[in-house]
């Protein structure tokens, strides 16, 4: 191979690697993400999924906080009859961990699961709330996968339903100071069981039967301005939206969206049979998974600008946390170094990096080796041209050799 060809080959190799290298430092704008496969939801005594403020008869209290960019789960605002459910006190559970994977769950295992009790007029409610470390910003989006059962109340005068809410105020709507900004819901006997929405216009029929999402779907909400939104509901397998709409948020001026709230009420539990024949079948349960919050601004967690994301970048974030003037670690360009920038730093490593492990995280071996080979080839071809060998250094004293 001629010297020129060697340099061309090295340059071509570097160009071919650039997308992978760029992907490691300039990240998609995911600022929060969680799934039921996170180690936080591993099997343990008392149930794999625990949250703050459970009601009497619900899961034992805990502070599970899987993923990145969120605060711990909050179960406040629920009501349960553990003796009337085959799931016992676990009206919040991990399908495939706490119980065998249900064939009714099309999201796959593990997934988050909610259940009620086989009691009519009992007010059974399972509520799971997650507050974001940083509020949703204009252009940002919230998405999650869900798989609802059919609406099956024990009495037509005690309707059942499922709700996904986006709130301001940092908690469930049962908490003082919290406002529902947007709601996506379905209730037995209302709008023919179609999915409906809550926004500034009140309650509106989305025209999507809840029976059409019993095989799973994906909710994708985008904040298009401080007070407006767009919503799309996609098939779980992708493709054209099942439904889409735009509108203005409810509670104008009540603050930015900072909370995701999911709940089901009065839909029974398991196979719906009271007594000894009751089984945790998943037939009446609401499943969801893969929570994701994205920012419209691309993030960069390479805070020291040295071409990689490692422990040094974490130390810069730690040293400047809270600053609005030293913004080297303001990866999401929010104007302040905050928890969202730590979440951005964690993302390259699959949320496995922790604040206690500040050493450099190993790079993918294939990329590292290829980069080394490309640089070596480039440097060797340069030495052939310039004569810069270990015994013939034609460069300024004190200046390190590097590719031209």
Question: Do 16 and 102 share a domain, yes or no?
Answer: no
Task: Tell whether 267 and 385 lie within a shared domain.
Answer: no
Instruction: Please indicate, yes or no, whether residues 336 and 386 belong to a single structural domain of this protein.
Output: yes
Shared-domain flag, residues 206 and 239: yes
404 lies in some domain: no
Residues 124 and 101 in one domain: yes
Q: Which of 268, 294, 320 is the last residue of a domain?
A: 294
| Same domain (yes/no): 343, 213 | no
**Of 294, 309, 331, which one is at a domain's C-terminal end?**
294
Residues 250, 325, single domain; the answer is: no
Rounded to whole angstroms, how far apart are CA atoms 141 and 120? 37
Query: Is 188 a member of any domain?
Result: yes
Ramachandran area for residue 255 (φ above 0: left; ψ -120 to 50: alpha; else beta): left
* Within-domain flag for 200: yes
Residue 401 within a domain: no
Tens digit of pLDDT at every position of the chain (404 positions): 555 554 545 445 444 444 443 443 444 478 999 999 999 999 999 999 999 999 999 999 999 999 999 999 999 999 999 999 999 999 999 999 999 999 999 999 999 999 999 999 999 999 999 999 999 999 999 999 999 999 999 888 889 999 999 999 999 999 999 999 999 999 999 999 999 999 999 999 999 999 999 999 999 999 999 999 999 999 999 999 999 999 999 999 999 999 999 999 999 999 999 888 999 999 999 999 999 999 987 667 888 878 788 888 888 988 899 988 888 888 777 788 887 788 778 766 544 443 333 333 333 334 334 434 444 444 444 443 334 333 333 333 333 322 33
**Residues 216, 325: one domain?**
no
Residues 190 and 290 in one domain: yes
Task: Flag whether 12 is in a domain.
Answer: yes
Tell me: do 6 and 40 sit in the same domain. Answer: no
For residue 20, give Cα distances in angstroms to 16, 24, 26, 371.
Answer: 8, 7, 10, 11
Give pTM, 2 decimals.
0.73
Q: Which CATH number is 268's domain given?
A: 2.60.120.200
- 270 and 316 co-located in one domain: no
Q: Domain span at residue 350?
A: 1-27+299-391
Note whether 129 and 250 are same-domain residues: yes
The dihedral region occupied by 176, where left means phi > 0, alpha psi between -120 and 50, and beta the remainder, is: beta
Answer yes or no: is 400 within a domain. no
User: What one-character-per-residue DSSP string does 181-215 give?
Assistant: EEEEEEETTSGGGEEEEEETTEEEEEEEEGGGGTT
- Asked if residue 8 is part of any domain, the answer here is yes
Domain count, the chain: 2
3-state secondary structure of 276: helix
| Residue at 403 is within a domain | no
Domain edge (last residue) among 294, 322, 353: 294
């Amino acid at each position: 191979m001629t010297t020129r060809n060697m340099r061309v080959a090295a340059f071509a190799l570097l160009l071919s690697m650039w997308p992978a290298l760029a992907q490691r430092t300039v990240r998609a704008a995911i600022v929060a993400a969680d799934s039921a496969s996170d180690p936080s939801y591993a099997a343990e005594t008392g149930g794999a999924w625990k949250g703050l403020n459970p009601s009497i008869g619900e899961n034992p209290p805990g502070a599970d906080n899987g993923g990145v960019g969120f605060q711990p789960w909050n179960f406040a605002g629920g009501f349960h009859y553990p003796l009337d459910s085959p799931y016992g006190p676990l009206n919040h559970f991990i399908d495939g961990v706490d119980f065998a994977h249900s064939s009714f769950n099309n999201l796959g295992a593990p997934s988050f699961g909610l259940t009620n009790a086989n009691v009519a007029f009992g007010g059974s409610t399972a509520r799971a709330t997650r507050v974001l470390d940083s509020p949703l910003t204009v252009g940002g989006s919230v998405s999650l996968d869900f798989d609802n059962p059919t609406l099956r109340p024990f009495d037509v005068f005690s309707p059942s339903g499922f709700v996904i809410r986006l709130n301001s105020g940092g908690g469930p709507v049962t908490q003082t100071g919290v406002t529902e900004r947007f709601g996506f819901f379905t209730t037995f006997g209302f709008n023919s069981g179609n999915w409906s929405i809550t926004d500034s216009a009140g309650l509106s029929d989305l025209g999507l039967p809840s029976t059409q999402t019993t095989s799973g779907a994906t909710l994708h909400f985008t904040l298009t301005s401080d007070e407006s939104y767009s919503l799309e509901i996609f098939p779980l397998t992708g493709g054209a939206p099942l439904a889409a709409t735009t509108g203005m948020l409810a509670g104008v001026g009540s603050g930015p969206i900072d909370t995701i709230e999911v709940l089901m009420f009065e839909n029974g539990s398991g196979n719906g049979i009271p007594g000894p024949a009751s089984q945790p079948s998943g037939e009446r349960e609401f499943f969801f998974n893969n929570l994701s919050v994205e920012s419209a601004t691309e993030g960069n967690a390479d805070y020291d600008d040295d071409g990689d994301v490692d422990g040094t970048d974490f130390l810069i974030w730690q040293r400047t946390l809270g600053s609005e003037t030293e913004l080297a670690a303001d990866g999401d360009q929010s104007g302040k170094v905050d928890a969202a920038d730590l979440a951005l730093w964690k993302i390259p490593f699959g949320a496995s990096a922790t604040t206690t492990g500040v050493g450099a995280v190993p790079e993918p071996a294939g990329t590292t080796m290829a980069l080394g080979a490309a640089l070596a080839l480039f440097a060797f071809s340069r030495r052939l041209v310039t004569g810069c060998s270990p015994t013939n250094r034609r460069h300024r004293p004190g200046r390190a050799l590097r590719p031209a």
